[in-house]
Chains A and B, each alone.
Chain A
Amino acid sequence: MSDTFQLDGKNVPFESGQTVMQAALAAGHYIPHLCYHPEFKPHGSCKLCTVKVGGRTAASCTMPAEAGLNVESNIEEMNGLRRTLVQMLFAEGNHFCPSCEKSGNCMLQALGYDLEVHTAGFRHLYPDRPLDASHPDILLDFNRCILCELCVRASSEVDGKNVFALSGRGIAKHLIVNAKSELLKDTDIALADKAMQVCPVGVILKKRVGFSVPIGERRYDQRPISAQALDDAPRLSDASSSCAACEGTP
């Protein structure tokens, strides 16, 4: 019999080495998250998965599960914090959903829906971030980057290429591509790369597939992200299948 911890008053079993997030998802309990991805080492940067453990806050994607922990996640205090984080991510970039090909498949947008974010909350910064349309098959729209580093991790850990990196600090931090020209066309990225499939928002887009699925019939139009994420989670143990959390193009 495996050990258990408490999540919002429910017993959650876990295996040694699992994080709170991994154990929760495997047991069918959703904790909101953005930079966490079942196939990658936890990053712990977006803080959406922050939970309360013994009165203190911690990122559940990096927190090791321990017997007897009392974890609080779906409480107004944590959801209010998550709402603020989502508002800050929206305010920092240029997230103009009506013109974004990722709308309906976007995790940031879906989290906004799930957390019922109706308002801007913060003064939007409207940064000036030019596109990189240099590559014949791939478009980079930096306006939407949330700095989750999933593309950075996918490119280095899975593709073995190091196409992407983050540069700068604080508010100046931004996504760069690994080429002297700073253009995607001069990197060795390929359409089949894992880095092409993991962006939770609309930064890395395959060209010429716009509206292949109509608005209103997309992933998070059909079911809220809290339900979708649980469907994706069991695939964690099934190494042969690809992860449904990666929004691949059909």
Chain B
Amino acid sequence: MSRKLRIATTSLAGCFGCHMSLLDIDERLLALLELVEFDRSPITDIKHCGPCDIGLIEGGICNAENVHVLREFRTHCKILIAIGSCAITGGLPAQRNHLDLASCLTEVYLTEPGLAHGHIPNDPELPLPLDKVHPLHEVVKIDYFIPGCPPSGDAIWKFLTDLIAGKTPELGHGLIKYD
């Protein structure tokens, strides 16, 4: 057996639902660990992505830090996969795209009833939000897309095992889902 493939995963403007689905492959995680090892991922808590074979990215791009992390993944991953609706189309966070960002922030932090002495967060450590939420492929080249909100554990398993086996990944009826 040749060396194990190295996989990095992260969630950008996502909810970690796709990562929960990755955990939903259940005991097949052990079979997966025979084939791969994890680099940056919530599973390892490694903070920066090193050289990898596969990068799995959940969530779209809603702030400046997302752009940095995405570019780091693109630099280090031979194959980059957008996983889930948010990574592919912007998803739920992109539901703000038809609204003006300033009026969103104003309504949420200033004018919404019940927010006494609210203010729009301005700590310099906070990444600046982007005007619009973008899917990943608008910022870097994405090699594969796994749709779903989230894709099922079975879909992720099928896609990854096809890819690792050197086949063109196919989902087919029941595994390709947008919901």
Contacts and interface: CB of A to CB of B under 8 A. Distances in A.
A128 B172 CA distance: 33
Contacts of B176: 112-113, 116, 118
A99 B145 CA distance: 21
A26 B162 CA distance: 38
Contacts of A2: none
Contacts, number: 68
A190 interface: no
Interface of B: 85, 88-92, 94-95, 97-99, 132, 135, 137-138, 144-147, 149, 170-174, 176-179
B88 A100 contact: no
14 contacts: A94-B98, A95-B178, A96-B95, A97-B178, A98-B179, A104-B179, A112-B178, A113-B173, A113-B176, A114-B173, A124-B90, A124-B94, A126-B94, A126-B132
Interface of A: 90, 94-100, 103-104, 109, 112-114, 116, 118-120, 123-124, 126-128, 215, 221, 223-224
Nearest to B175: A113
B115 to A, nearest CB: 25
Nearest to B144: A118
The secondary structure that dominates the B interface is: loop
B107 to A, nearest CB: 15
A155 B88 CA distance: 37
B137 A97 contact: no
Q: Which 4 A-B residue pairings sit nearest by Cβ, starting from the closest? A: A126-B97, A97-B178, A128-B98, A98-B149
